[in-house]
Amino acid sequence: MFRPTMLNGTSLYNFACVFWNYDVSDWSTDGCSKGNASDGLLRCFCNHTTNFAALWTYREKYDYAEALDWISIVGLSLSIVCLVVTIGHHIKENFRINSKEETNNMNLKIAQLCIYVSLLAFIVTFLSGVQNSSRQNDAPVGVDDANNTILDSDERVEPDRGSCTAVAALLHFFLLATFMWNSVYGTQMVLLFWTDGELPPYWSIISHTVGWGLPAVVMATTLGATYRLDSPLGYRQEEFCWLAALDKNKQFNFGKPMFWAFLLPVGLILIYNILLLVLTTWRTDREQKSTKPSSLRTMFLISLSLAVLLGVSWTLGYLVLASEGTAHLVFSIIFCLCTTTQGLQIFILFTARTPSFRASVSRPVRYISAVNMHLNSRSYSLTKALWSTAGSESYRDLKDQQESLF
From residue 393, alpha-carbon distances to 237, 386, 396 in Å are 80, 9, 10
Backbone phi, then psi, for 228, in 5-degree steps? -135, 140
| Residues 77-130 pLDDT 10s | 999 999 999 999 999 887 765 444 466 678 888 999 999 999 999 999 999 988
Give the pLDDT confidence of 16-55 residue by residue, as tens digits.
889 998 888 888 989 888 887 777 788 888 888 878 888 8
Please choose, from the candidates 347, 342, 280, 343, the residue with its C-alpha nearest in 3D space to the C-alpha of residue 317: 342
| Rounded percentage of the chain residues whose pLDDT exceeds 90 | 33
> In sequence order, which ranges of 22-162 are alpha helices (DSSP H)?
70-94, 103-129
Strands (E), 292-357: none
The arithmetic mean of pLDDT across residues 177-184, rounded, is 95
Cα 187 to Cα 88: distance, rounded to the nearest angstrom: 25
Phi/psi for 165 (5° steps) reads -65, -40
Contact 39/79 with Cβ under 8 angstroms?
A: no
Q: Which domains does the chain have, with CATH numbers?
A: 10-60 (no CATH), 70-138+158-358 (1.20.1070.10)
Q: What pairs with residue 228 in β-bridges?
A: 231
Summarize the confidence of residues 224-242 as an average pLDDT.
88
Planar angle of CA 354, 357, 360, nearest 5 degrees: 150
Q: What is the pTM of this model?
A: 0.77
CA dihedral 146, 152, 158, 162 (to 10 degrees): -120
Q: Which of 173, 86, 177, 70 is nearest to 127 (CA)?
A: 70
Query: Which of these, 302, 175, 305, 165, lies nearest to 234 by C-alpha position?
Result: 165
Beta bridge partners of 243: 236
Longest Cα–Cα distance in the chain: 129
The pLDDT of residue 6 is 74
Whether residue 402 has pLDDT greater than 80: no
From first CA to last CA, the distance across the chain in angstroms is 113
Asked whether the CA dihedral 227, 210, 270, 74 is positive or negative, the reply is negative
Residue 395 reports pLDDT greater than 50: no
b/e per residue, 40-65, with b = 16+ CB within 10 A?
Answer: eebebeeeeeeebebbbbbbbebeee
Mean pLDDT, the chain, as a whole number? 81
